């Protein structure tokens, strides 16, 4: 009998009621032997995520404001969970140790990781599973770079010793023992690593939506769920901002051909979305697989006559960004133009310097900068080979009054990316959704 790894996200472990659902899901299938948990997320819209509060403790300390008040709010959330689950667990001892470490100057990563640590410990006690800490198993080098093979080896060796275990997501450690976290949402990565290490039959990712939806449900009302999607399509959508699954969570499962199944803790009967290598029998009427996007990019559009004839032009251009350690998100180009798309956050106040440097080193005819831009990707396998897709997309944006500032048809032939103003972001996504997914009359 194969093994399933079930990762439960923040909303699934937000309180005792949610944890009772988790237990019943795990117990309803004996194949679910390894459980990975996030830290408690929001219970209602205005609520706080535990991880955000832990980061807030650190911010307070950095500004010489006591962390006690925020720390008490965190402890109270966990106390309530332990009490409501009726557990006999000495959680106070854990709070004391964490508080001691915080006072002794613990790192931001250590503080942030304690949400997952405590949640895994509580969930293990509640389900009668072993608690297996990821400290010393999920490994990073001293510079904080993730060590994939070493992690796989250590997780494999350790998990062999446990028939059933609960494992905290989000963090691991460096050789010195210092705690290091993945980026936000990183428990998805831990789940994928655990799935690979136990040669799982399926990696289940339990969240608060019934699978991957064609568009973000916070923008589009009741979007269609996607039954099956390929790793490649999902990676495009995750990278572009569909935040259901951390973009780096795909690789470990994919490398071992483990299907990922996105499920809803609040609607466990729904089969959700299955992510596999190749989707056969693609539904012929469905032109697109999904739409995703993010805000806050900036585009530097460089124009120079005969640019394409100038040897090394693009290299020189990219070297400037490399000198500032700024990654390039997209790079659509024409004969005499090149548009460089950067994350505004990563440019971080260096824009004027970069533009000066470009003028000096590239001698362009003109440089235009578009700030406050959003990128929206419309993704679908074989989409670019179908007639009329671009016409439908651009027509819909035109009708909605959205001005397109940039177009990038990816070389993967799987997506069309448009750049629009931040203010038009939601409107543009709704227009694209309606054009491809709306009722026939609406189309």
Burial of 199 per CB tally in 10 Å (0-12, 13-18, 19+): exposed
Give yes or no for a contact between 219 and 205, defined as CB atoms under 8 angstroms apart: no
Q: Interface residues for ligand ASP in 37-56 (CB under 6 A)?
A: 38-39, 49, 51
Closest to Mg ion by CB, 38 or 230? 38
Residue 41 touches ligand ADP, criterion: CB under 6 A: yes
Between the CA of residue 83 and those of 16, 245, 380, what are the distances in Å? 9, 31, 48
Q: How far is the CB of 180 from ligand ASP (least distance, A)?
A: 13
Residue 213 touches ligand ADP, criterion: CB under 6 A: yes
Closest to ligand ASP by CB, 52 or 94? 52
With CB under 5 to 8 Å by kind, the binding choice for 115 among ligand ASP, Mg ion, ligand ADP, none is: ligand ASP
Stretch that binds ligand ADP, among 206-214, 274-282, 305-313, 435-443 (CB under 6 A): 206-214
Helix-, strand-, coil-residue percentages of the chain, each rounded to 5: 40, 20, 40
Q: For residue 193, give the nearest of 270, 232, 140 by alpha carbon.
A: 140
Q: Which of 31, 48, 107, 243 binds ligand ADP (CB under 6 A)?
A: 243
Residue 215 touches ligand ADP, criterion: CB under 6 A: yes
Where does 282-402 show beta strands of DSSP type E? Answer: 290-303, 337-343, 366-379
Q: What is the DSSP letter of 91?
A: H
Q: Which of 3, 9, 54, 397 binds ligand ADP (CB under 6 A)?
A: 9
Q: Interface residues for ligand ADP in 164-203 (CB under 6 A)?
A: 185
Closest to ligand ASP by CB, 12 or 339? 12
Q: Which of 115, 169, 185, 272 binds Mg ion (CB under 5 A)?
A: 185
Stretch that binds Mg ion, among 18-26, 182-190, 231-239, 369-377 (CB under 5 A): 182-190
| Exposure class string for 340-374: b at 16+ Cβ within 10 A, else e | bbbbbebbeeebeebeebbeeebebeebeebeebb
Residue 209 touches ligand ADP, criterion: CB under 6 A: yes
Q: For residue 162, give the nearest of 135, 133, 200, 132 by alpha carbon.
A: 132
Give yes or no for a contact between 173 and 180, defined as CB atoms under 8 angstroms apart: yes
Residue 187 touches ligand ASP, criterion: CB under 6 A: yes
Q: Interface residues for ligand ASP in 210-249 (CB under 6 A)?
A: none
Residue 272 touches ligand ADP, criterion: CB under 6 A: no
| Exposure class string for 132-161: b at 16+ Cβ within 10 A, else e | bbbbebbbbeeeeebbeebbbebbeebbee
Residue 289 touches ligand ADP, criterion: CB under 6 A: no
With CB under 5 to 8 Å by kind, the binding choice for 186 among Mg ion, ligand ADP, ligand ASP, none is: ligand ASP
Residue 442 touches ligand ADP, criterion: CB under 6 A: no
Q: For residue 166, give the nearest of 319, 33, 300 by alpha carbon.
A: 33
Segments in 63-211 forming alpha helices (H): 68-84, 91-103, 108-127, 148-159, 187-197
Three-class DSSP labels, 257-289: CCCEEEEECCCCCCCCEEEECCCCCCCCCCCCC
Q: How far is the CB of 109 from ligand ASP (least distance, A)?
A: 11
Q: How far is the CB of 246 from Mg ion (least distance, A)?
A: 6
With CB under 5 to 8 Å by kind, the binding choice for 217 among ligand ADP, Mg ion, ligand ASP, none is: ligand ADP
Q: What is the DSSP letter of 202?
A: E
| Exposure class string for 57-67: b at 16+ Cβ within 10 A, else e | bbebbeeeeeb
Residues 60 and 68: their CA atoms lie apart, in Å, by 9
Closest-by-Cβ residue to Mg ion is 185
SS3 339: strand
Give yes or no for a contact between 295 and 374, defined as CB atoms under 8 angstroms apart: yes
Q: How far is the CB of 64 from ligand ADP (least distance, A)?
A: 32
Residues 78 and 122: their CA atoms lie apart, in Å, by 9
Closest-by-Cβ residue to ligand ASP is 187
Give yes or no for a contact between 25 and 268, defined as CB atoms under 8 angstroms apart: yes
With CB under 5 to 8 Å by kind, the binding choice for 169 among ligand ASP, ligand ADP, Mg ion, none is: ligand ASP
Q: What is the DSSP letter of 306?
A: T
With CB under 5 to 8 Å by kind, the binding choice for 51 among ligand ASP, Mg ion, ligand ADP, none is: ligand ASP
Closest to ligand ADP by CB, 187 or 339? 187
Residue 10 touches ligand ASP, criterion: CB under 6 A: yes
Closest to ligand ASP by CB, 169 or 364? 169
- Please report, as ranges, the residues that interact with Mg ion according to CB under 5 A: 9, 185
- Please report, as ranges, the residues that interact with ligand ADP according to CB under 6 A: 9-12, 38, 41, 185, 207-209, 212-213, 215-218, 242-244, 290
- Please report, as ranges, the residues that interact with ligand ASP according to CB under 6 A: 9-10, 38-39, 49, 51, 115, 169-170, 184-188
């Amino acid at each position: 009998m194969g093994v399933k790894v079930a990762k439960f996200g923040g909303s699934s472990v937000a309180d005792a009621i949610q944890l009772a659902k988790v237990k019943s899901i795990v117990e309803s299938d004996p194949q679910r032997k390894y459980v990975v948990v996030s830290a408690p997320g929001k219970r209602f819209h205005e609520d706080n995520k535990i991880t955000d509060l832990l980061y807030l403790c650190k911010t307070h300390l950095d500004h010489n404001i006591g962390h006690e008040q925020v720390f008490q709010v965190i402890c109270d959330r966990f106390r309530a969970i332990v009490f409501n689950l009726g557990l006999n667990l000495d959680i106070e001892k854990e709070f004391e140790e964490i508080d001691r470490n915080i006072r002794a100057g613990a790192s931001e990563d250590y503080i942030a990781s304690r949400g997952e640590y405590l949640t895994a410990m509580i969930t293990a006690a509640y389900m009668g599973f072993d608690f297996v800490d990821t400290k010393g198993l999920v490994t990073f080098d001293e510079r904080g770079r993730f060590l994939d093979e070493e992690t796989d080896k250590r997780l494999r060796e350790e998990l062999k010793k446990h028939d059933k275990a609960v494992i905290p997501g989000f963090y691991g450690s460096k050789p010195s023992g210092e705690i290091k976290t993945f980026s936000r949402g990183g428990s998805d990565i831990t789940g994928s690593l655990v799935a690979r290490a136990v040669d799982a039959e399926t990696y289940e990712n339990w969240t608060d939506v019934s699978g991957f939806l064609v568009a973000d449900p916070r923008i589009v009302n009741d979007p269609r769920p996607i039954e099956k999607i390929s790793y490649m399509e999902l990676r495009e959508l995750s990278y572009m901002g569909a935040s259901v699954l951390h973009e780096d969570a795909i690789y470990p499962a994919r490398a071992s051909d483990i299907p990922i199944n996105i499920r809803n803790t609040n609607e466990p009967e729904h089969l959700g979305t299955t992510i596999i290598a190749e989707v056969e029998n693609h539904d012929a009427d469905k032109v697109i697989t999904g739409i995703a996007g993010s805000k806050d990019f900036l585009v530097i559009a460089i124009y120079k006559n005969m640019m394409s004839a100038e040897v090394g032009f693009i290299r020189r251009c990219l070297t400037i960004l490399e000198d500032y350690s700024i990654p390039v998100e997209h790079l659509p180009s024409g004969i005499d133009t090149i548009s460089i798309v950067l994350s505004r956050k990563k440019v971080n106040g260096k824009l004027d310097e970069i533009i000066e440097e470009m003028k000096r080193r590239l001698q362009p005819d003109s440089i235009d900068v578009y700030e406050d831009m959003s990128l929206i990707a419309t993704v679908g396998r074989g989409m670019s080979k179908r007639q009329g897709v671009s016409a439908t997309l651009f027509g819909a944006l035109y009708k909605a009054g959205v001005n397109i500032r940039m177009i990038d048809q990816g070389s993967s032939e799987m997506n069309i990316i448009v750049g629009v103003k931040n203010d038009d972001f939601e409107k543009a996504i709704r227009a694209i959704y309606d054009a491809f997914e709306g009722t026939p009359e609406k189309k």
